[in-house]
Structure 1
Amino acid sequence: MLFDTVLVANRGEIARRVIRTLRALGIRSVAVYSDADATAPHVREADAAVRIGPAPAAQSYLDVEAVVRAAVESGAQAVHPGYGFLSENVAFARACAAAGIVFIGPGEQALAVMGDKIRAKEHVARHEVPTVPGFSAAGMTDAEIAAAAERTGYPLLVKPSAGGGGKGMQVVRAASELAEALSTARRVAAAAFGDDTLLLERLIERPRHIEVQVLADQHGHVVHLGERECTLQRRHQKVIEEAPSPVVDATTRERLGAAACAAAASVEYRGAGTVEFLVAASRPDEFFFIEMNTRLQVEHPVTELVTGLDLVEQQLRIAAGEPLGFAQADVRLDGHAIEARVYAESPERGFLPATGEVLAWRAATDVRTDAAVETGSVVTADYDPMIAKVIAHGGDRVEALARLDAALAETVVLGVDTNLGFLRQLLAQDHVRSGDMDTGLIDRMPAPTAPAPGDLALRAAAAFVRARRDAGIAAPRRDSPSSAPRTWSLGDDVRSRRSGATWQGLTGWRAGGAPVNPAVAFETADGGILVAAPDERSPEVSVGSRPAHARRLGAAAPDGVTLAAAADGMLWVHADGATTALRPLSRRAAMERRLAARERAAAASDPELRAPMPGAVVAVHVAPGATVAAGDRVLTIEAMKMEHPVLAPHAGVVRVDVATGDQVRRDEVIAHVAVAPAPMPDDPDPTSAEAHEAAATHS
């Protein structure tokens, strides 16, 4: 018998996704939330919600006592942990059991064995599952690790034994790189997982990442649901996932599935789990066990779309004691599914996390979108930067790729930088389209650059600015207090206020065809200056308060555009499948920007070091007044479970303006590196030719 009430111990899109299945099954859902998520969509969508602490995850979503207390007080019979946070925490599973609450996941043995990469590898090797050569660094000194690394052979992959998601992983290609890699991996592991034990493995060059979804009930039945290709990764974080893999044939699929089922059976697994393998790009029939994730995976939707199964429902039924309702022979893969992870990040800034208010959100039609945000959501630096998943299904891989690309072009996120444009560039790569991939493909791509706005986006933004000026509405200053933004799209009513209204009072624009004369200048996100010429034909924008000025623009209007104005004056425009952020400039401001750019280009590197992303300072590597060389680490910033070093741009004397633990904003000045004055030349050597010439001149 299924449960009456289930608490969802997670947030974001996975919490919403679990709640969706609970509602379909008639089960009461209870959400938990931190102070940062008090108004989040998952809180509103659940039947009940319980506050569990402040924004930091360690004081809320990772607080075992607070989550268990919320489950007990809400009358929950079971807890679904989602993924991340406490989903693979054996102490949490024990605490649930002690409170008489069912943990929707595997038993303690599976959590304990598979939760430790070192122990898991040793365990499955005894059950004839192939593993990668390597060793555990537990209890070893750095000297002993270095000796063992030499015996294993470079290149090596250093990774935390606890946790997952690629956090803390470091590639070491030579002995000289080992010490720094160990230090970084330990620091990240301790902060993210509370355990700095490391595992070192032989790095397999040009690997593919293949994983197998398994289901196991409490009656001894174990089945697999085929494989997923998760090769397209950046910093060991998956970006695109698909099912089935384009390189796995039926024979290899059977062998992979058998190995995955053997790994699951070896720990008496129950529920949904994923066994991950490395497959050599040149030998797709050769695979090695990486780890087992004892939870639902981010990419589970692609398996759902090709099998027709609801994996959350299967988890619930298994946890309730029901046997699997099908056998291995009943599993069929229908067509192809591909998922793209949408991250709040700035690809042109090295994919650093981005924060801000979502001024406009619109999901694509005809595909599945699992989203963590909606219009009005605030993306903070407290949690993972993934804000949505877009999943397309087709009769074959070519059709699925085409549908996914179209869906990404249709997806609108304004107000926060995202990787949507990069995802489309990635899908267009020849190697991706042909399926000839490895985990280093993204690293080999050219560094992303901020795309220039298209003609339609520029004309739409210019038309809006001209209409605002015609209405006598002043543009906000960059330091104006935040207030509710407004968005415009082809399909919205056109209403606004005349002179005396605020910027935020505008609520619409409309497309027409009348020429508008004044030129409008904009600053792009990367500091470039663009001008919408006066002789361009722009969409007519109506700014008025009378009802007669409002009319409905239907979906058939050509060249759909969505525009949102932030409280700081930035205009966000989505047009022709791309998003651009533009800041309107006066003539004077445009001239000042150009002059400043010329001065920067003519000068030496900037002495000011700015925060590349919002986050917390986790390490300061230099003492005040120290002399540094170009490229030296000055400090390290962490946000959204990722560390980023800030390096000295040139040699000089450093002054650090922040301290460990400080929270910083993106582009905030955090340090200075003053170029040391050139040393005065010594007195001329009287024996030199120059000295003789000088003496002759003055004699």
Structure 2
Amino acid sequence: MRRVLVLNRYRLASAAFHRWIGDAAELYLVNDSARTYRRAPDRDAIEAGYAQIVEVDDYLDDATVLPAARDLIARHGIDTVIAFSEYDVLRAARLRTEFGLAGQDVASAELFRDKLAMKRRAQTAGIPVVPFAPLGSSDDEVARLGYPLIVKPRHGADSQGVVVVRDASELARVTTALDDPTAYLAEQYVEHELLHTDGVVVDGELRFFEAWQWSQTLLASHQDASAPTVALTLDARDPRRADLRDLTRQALLALGAPPVTAFHVEFFATDHGLLLNEAASRIGGARIQPALRRIHGVDLAELTARCTVEPRAAVALPPPLAPAGGFLLVYGTPDGRTAAPATCPLPGVADYETTVPLAGGDTMNVAHPELVVSATAVGRSRDEVRSRLDDFNDWFVRSTTA
């Protein structure tokens, strides 16, 4: 039986590896104590599902996570490491490389994390990308991109640390303020619609695939936190689905995706066609996961874990549960709002979460603390889903005391 180490910073209610692969593997867990299993209603089942659980207090610190993981691997002869969060992809790769384990290695993980290396590799493979240049390279190389520019960290995530630069003097100020300009890249600002794809690839085959369209870009949503961001699945007959599927597969191949991985790939839809923005060998964030469970009955973490443990096993996917679906996000902080409803009564809407204190004084255990409110919805069409999410936002604003 395989011995599997899981690095986990998600709620175990939505990352139930002990239920998904416990019969096929002996499981060990390094868990974020902020998401401690001890508060879970099924605590006893979780404890019984793992040979050993180690919880660490500062999960974002490699100095706490890696020693715990190394100890478990060395003492128990672990042969497989599973990790899905942005923080764990490179950690898991380092552990595999250090102990000679199969799976994504450091070179592959770095290529998916370093946006500059990623774009260079994709461009070499003939995949259209957003025009870019390393920050700190020659002024002429950056200036050729034109203004405005987007400056972003090479290893950033979720549009954090991304700034818009409108002229050469502003670029000079931004560059001077950075501790290490070479840790950033500049990109040409292009008008676009944000699309992304999510799924699981096994030996080059897209075992599961879904494509989405966003109402605004991530950068725009962070700049105007009060405006809700809505993501909707593309219609089955949308011709862009086939193009996105093909470009996703090309990008994963060019970037050396491991034999089994979840993926999240972002594209810009422009007047000149689709451009690759970024690709990740992990599960996408926001509310992608709960939305996919509502639309397809598919959990990307479960599917990836099962395929990792038994890659050649036939994994039957359920038929879709709804023709269309999506999710709504409002970034920011509660800003003094209190007394949010504990539940949402609207039809077709689920996975309601808010960081606003509830009417009874309690707070929710939310997946994303940077969101004021979020929810998923399904429907018979994209228009119905959008209407339900708009109604949800109106309901939340009316029902929350400022």
Quote the offset at 1:253 in angstroms: 1.8
3-state DSSP of counterpart to 1:165: coil
In structure 2, C-alpha distance between the alignment counterparts of 1:388 and 1:73, rounded to whole Å:
43
Quote the offset at 1:396 in angstroms: 0.7
Q: Which amino acid aligns with 2:109?
A: L
Q: Give the corresponding residue for 2:308.
A: 319
Q: Give the 3 Å change call, closer, same or farther, for CA 332–43 of structure 1 in structure 2.
A: closer
3-state DSSP of counterpart to 2:92: helix
Q: Which amino acid aligns with 1:7?
A: V
Answer yes or no: is the 8 Å Cα contact 2:232–2:382 preserved in 1: no
Alignment of 1:441-480 (within 5 A): none
Q: Give the corresponding residue for 1:609.
A: none
Quote the offset at 1:110 in angstroms: 3.0
Alignment of 1:225-624 (within 5 A): 225-233=209-217, 235=219, 240-245=229-234, 250-269=238-257, 270-280=260-270, 283=271, 286-298=273-285, 299-323=288-312, 325=314, 334-341=322-329, 343=331, 345-346=333-334, 362-364=342-344, 367-369=349-351, 376=362, 385-386=370-371, 389-407=374-392, 421=397, 577-581=398-402
Q: Give the corresponding residue for 1:516.
A: none
Bigger Rg over Cα:
1
In structure 2, C-alpha distance between the alignment counterparts of 1:263 and 1:331, rounded to whole Å:
27
Q: Give the 3 Å change call, closer, same or farther, for CA 96–129 of structure 1 in structure 2.
A: same
Question: Are positions 1:137 and 2:146 aligned together?
Answer: no
Out of 7, 18, 26, the position equivalent to 2:15 is: 18
- State the superposition RMSD in angstroms: 4.2
Q: Which amino acid aligns with 2:86?
A: G
Alignment size in residue pairs = 377
Answer yes or no: is the 8 Å Cα contact 1:225–1:303 preserved in 2: no
Answer yes or no: is the 8 Å Cα contact 2:232–2:327 preserved in 1: no
Q: Give the corresponding residue for 1:204.
A: 190
In structure 2, C-alpha distance between the alignment counterparts of 1:67 and 1:9, rounded to whole Å:
11
Q: Give the 3 Å change call, closer, same or farther, for CA 407–259 of structure 1 in structure 2.
A: same
Q: Give the corresponding residue for 2:67.
A: 65
In structure 2, C-alpha distance between the alignment counterparts of 1:57 and 1:237, rounded to whole Å:
25
In structure 2, C-alpha distance between the alignment counterparts of 1:109 and 1:59, rounded to whole Å:
18
In structure 2, C-alpha distance between the alignment counterparts of 1:70 and 1:408, rounded to whole Å:
45
Quote the offset at 1:7 in angstroms: 2.7
Q: Give the 3 Å change call, closer, same or farther, for CA 402–152 of structure 1 in structure 2.
A: closer
Quote the offset at 1:323 in angstroms: 3.4
Quote the offset at 1:376 in angstroms: 4.7
Q: Give the 3 Å change call, closer, same or farther, for CA 109–101 of structure 1 in structure 2.
A: closer
3-state DSSP of counterpart to 1:152: coil
Quote the offset at 1:229 in angstroms: 1.5
Answer yes or no: is the 8 Å Cα contact 1:212–1:260 preserved in 2: yes
Q: Give the corresponding residue for 2:154.
A: 161
Alignment of 1:110-125 (within 5 A): 110-125=108-123
In structure 2, C-alpha distance between the alignment counterparts of 1:115 and 1:210, rounded to whole Å:
19
In structure 2, C-alpha distance between the alignment counterparts of 1:334 and 1:204, rounded to whole Å:
34
In structure 2, C-alpha distance between the alignment counterparts of 1:73 and 1:385, rounded to whole Å:
38
Q: Give the corresponding residue for 1:435.
A: none
Structure 2: 5+ residue stretches without partners:
48-52, 223-227
Which has the bigger relative contact order, CA under 8 A and spacing at least 6? 2
Q: Give the corresponding residue for 1:81.
A: 83
Quote the offset at 1:160 in angstroms: 1.1
Quote the offset at 1:286 in angstroms: 1.0
Identity %: 19
In structure 2, C-alpha distance between the alignment counterparts of 1:80 and 1:362, rounded to whole Å:
34
Quote the offset at 1:262 in angstroms: 0.9
TM-score, L = length of structure 2: 0.76
Structure 1: 5+ residue stretches without partners:
349-353, 411-419, 422-576, 582-699
3-state DSSP of counterpart to 2:84: coil
Deviations 1:391-419 (A, max 9, x none): 11111122212333455567xxxxxxxxx
3-state DSSP of counterpart to 1:276: strand
3-state DSSP of counterpart to 1:364: coil
Q: Which amino acid aligns with 2:328?
A: A
Deviations 1:394-446 (A, max 9, x none): 11122212333455567xxxxxxxxx53xxxxxxxxxxxxxxxxxxxxxxxxx
Deviations 1:429-465 (A, max 9, x none): xxxxxxxxxxxxxxxxxxxxxxxxxxxxxxxxxxxxx
Q: Which amino acid aligns with 1:17?
A: S
3-state DSSP of counterpart to 1:271: strand
Answer yes or no: is the 8 Å Cα contact 1:242–1:302 preserved in 2: no
Answer yes or no: is the 8 Å Cα contact 1:240–1:338 preserved in 2: no
Quote the offset at 1:389 in angstroms: 4.3
Q: Which amino acid aligns with 1:52?
A: V
Answer yes or no: is the 8 Å Cα contact 2:354–2:372 preserved in 1: yes
Quote the offset at 1:258 in angstroms: 0.6
Answer yes or no: is the 8 Å Cα contact 1:102–1:319 preserved in 2: no
Which has more helix, going by share of residues? 2
In structure 2, C-alpha distance between the alignment counterparts of 1:74 and 1:171, rounded to whole Å:
49
Quote the offset at 1:171 in angstroms: 0.7
TM-score, L = length of structure 1: 0.46
Q: Which amino acid aligns with 2:263?
A: G
Answer yes or no: is the 8 Å Cα contact 2:231–2:327 preserved in 1: yes
Quote the offset at 1:372 in angstroms: 9.3
Quote the offset at 1:264 in angstroms: 0.9
In structure 2, C-alpha distance between the alignment counterparts of 1:251 and 1:363, rounded to whole Å:
38
Q: Which amino acid aligns with 2:144?
A: R
